[in-house]
């Protein structure tokens, strides 16, 4: 009888221990689920803040007061929404290098400034020219350089989006990431200096005094001279937003805007993720020349 009681006692203890383990696992699962739910809510708040920042940019770009109006040249503006801190930079697409219209020599200079070897930069610049030049053949063919590199034939048409630049001969992941902030497909034949990012300005054949004046104005947060600082009707803009919550959660996005400056209406044309700090590294104008 005593032995039987001992066995029962051991079984009860084992059962209680098992139940305790199950309860602990359930509690842990509940905590993990709660943390996940809170993280999802935080990201939702950050997404809303980022979208709201894009709308705020559209409004501030069309203010009548030149002193209060935002300038789309990549300078940083600070915005607070509840407990979310946002850094907002707006860049006119006419300040970027247009892959479909831009001078390949300027692309070459920009690539070299980003540390790309001259030989590789030359191949990329020539490859872009091949890509966007319509073929005279009635039957699509492989360009010899593309074929030798084992790449699909060049498009022989305008690039649809900057991401398509990855298909140009000589462009790898590192090179693309280095120059992506300076590229567009909805810009102008030549970047407008008043809007151009610092690295692109320095790659352009401009007088040093003009470059110094433009960058000094940005550092002082001064309005550009003349009417060049205001977006035109139908302007294409990129809004680069970094959002940080008090919890430490962060989110960064680039949002494309088609802006009607006459009435402040806008349409979002694209969204792409950014790495935290990417906009600062590409567009900051405070570094020494």
Number of domains composing the chain: 2
Q: Give the residue from 132, 153, 181 where a domain finishes.
A: 181
Full DSSP string of 150-172: TPPPP-SS--SSGGGGGGSTT--
In terms of Cα–Cα distance, which of 206, 255, 203, 250 is closest to 72?
255
- What pLDDT, on a 0 to 100 scale, did the predictor assign at position 38? 55
pLDDT interval class at 37 (50, 70, 90) = low
Asked if residue 117 is part of any domain, the answer here is yes
* Residue 259 to residue 267: CA distance in whole angstroms: 7
Element (H, E) at 57: helix 2-60
pLDDT at 81 over 60: yes
> Per-residue b/e over 164-198, b at no fewer than 16 CB within 10 Å?
bbebbbbbeeebbebbbbbbbbbbbeebbbbbbbb
pLDDT at 34 over 60: no
> How are the residues of the chain apportioned to helix, strand and coil, as percentages rounded to the nearest 5?
45, 20, 35
Element (H, E) at 242: strand 235-245
Asked if residue 170 is part of any domain, the answer here is yes
- What pLDDT, on a 0 to 100 scale, did the predictor assign at position 126? 93
CA 80 → CA 53, 83, 99, 242, distances in Å? 9, 7, 35, 11
**Residues of the chain above pLDDT 90, percent:** 60
Question: Is 207 found in the same domain as 165?
Answer: no
Q: Which of 1-15, 150-164, 258-272 has the highest mean pLDDT?
A: 150-164
Neighbouring-strand partners of residue 240: 89, 254
Question: Is 86 found in the same domain as 63?
Answer: yes
State which residues form the domain around 285.
42-96+191-289
Question: Is 240 found in the same domain as 195?
Answer: yes
The CATH code of the domain that includes 165 is 1.10.40.60
pLDDT interval class at 32 (50, 70, 90) = very low
Cα torsion 19, 25, 28, 33 to 10°: value is -110
Q: Tokens representing 236? A: 């294409």
Averaged pLDDT score across all residues of the chain: 85
Asked if residue 278 is part of any domain, the answer here is yes
Question: Is 280 found in the same domain as 177?
Answer: no
Question: Is 88 found in the same domain as 208?
Answer: yes
Question: Is 83 found in the same domain as 206?
Answer: yes
Contact 273, 252 (CB under 8 A): yes
Q: Tokens representing 110? A: 């920009």
Asked if residue 83 is part of any domain, the answer here is yes
pLDDT at 208 over 50: yes
Asked if residue 12 is part of any domain, the answer here is no
pLDDT at 288 over 60: no
- What pLDDT, on a 0 to 100 scale, did the predictor assign at position 59? 93
Question: Is 91 found in the same domain as 195?
Answer: yes
Question: Is 204 found in the same domain as 72?
Answer: yes
Overall average pLDDT of the 39-59 stretch: 91
- What pLDDT, on a 0 to 100 scale, did the predictor assign at position 18? 57
* Predicted confidence (pLDDT) per residue in 123-161, tens digit: 999 999 999 998 766 666 667 888 888 888 899 999 999
Q: Give the residue from 181, 206, 223 where a domain finishes.
A: 181
Asked if residue 171 is part of any domain, the answer here is yes
Question: Is 196 found in the same domain as 163?
Answer: no
Neighbouring-strand partners of residue 89: 76, 240
Contact 256, 268 (CB under 8 A): yes
Asked if residue 237 is part of any domain, the answer here is yes
Question: Is 82 found in the same domain as 206?
Answer: yes
- What pLDDT, on a 0 to 100 scale, did the predictor assign at position 282? 83
Question: Is 274 found in the same domain as 133?
Answer: no
Asked if residue 226 is part of any domain, the answer here is yes
- What pLDDT, on a 0 to 100 scale, did the predictor assign at position 213? 94
pLDDT at 11 over 60: no
Question: Is 212 found in the same domain as 86?
Answer: yes
Q: Give the residue from 136, 155, 181 where a domain finishes.
A: 181
* Residue 280 to residue 289: CA distance in whole angstroms: 16
* Predicted confidence (pLDDT) per residue in 83-121, tens digit: 899 999 999 999 999 999 999 999 999 999 999 999 999
């Amino acid at each position: 009888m005593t032995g039987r009681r001992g066995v029962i006692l051991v079984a009860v203890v084992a059962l209680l221990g098992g139940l305790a383990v199950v309860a602990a696992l359930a509690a842990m699962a509940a905590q993990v689920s709660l943390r996940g739910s809170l993280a999802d809510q935080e990201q939702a708040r950050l997404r809303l803040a980022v979208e709201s920042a894009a709308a705020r940019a559209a409004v501030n770009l069309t203010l009548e007061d030149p002193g209060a109006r935002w300038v789309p040249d990549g300078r940083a503006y600070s915005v607070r929404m509840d407990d979310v801190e946002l850094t907002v930079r707006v860049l006119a697409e006419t300040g970027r290098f247009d892959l479909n219209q831009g001078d390949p020599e300027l692309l070459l200079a920009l690539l070299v400034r980003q540390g790309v070897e001259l030989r590789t930069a030359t191949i990329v610049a020539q490859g872009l020219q091949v890509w966007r030049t319509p073929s005279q053949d009635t039957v699509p063919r492989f360009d010899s350089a593309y074929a030798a590199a084992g790449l699909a034939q060049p498009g022989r048409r305008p690039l649809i989006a900057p991401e398509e630049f990855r298909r140009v001969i000589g462009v790898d992941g590192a090179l693309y990431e280095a120059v992506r902030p300076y590229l567009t497909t909805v810009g102008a034949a030549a970047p407008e200096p008043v809007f151009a990012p610092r690295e692109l300005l320095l790659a352009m054949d401009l007088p040093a005094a003009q470059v110094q004046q433009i960058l000094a104005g940005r550092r002082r947060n001064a309005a550009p001279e003349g009417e060049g600082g205001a977006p035109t009707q139908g302007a294409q803009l990129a809004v680069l937003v970094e959002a940080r919550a008090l919890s430490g959660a962060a989110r960064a996005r680039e949002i494309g805007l088609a802006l009607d400056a006459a009435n402040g209406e806008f349409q979002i044309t694209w969204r792409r993720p950014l790495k935290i700090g990417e906009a600062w590294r590409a567009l900051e104008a405070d570094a020494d020349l």
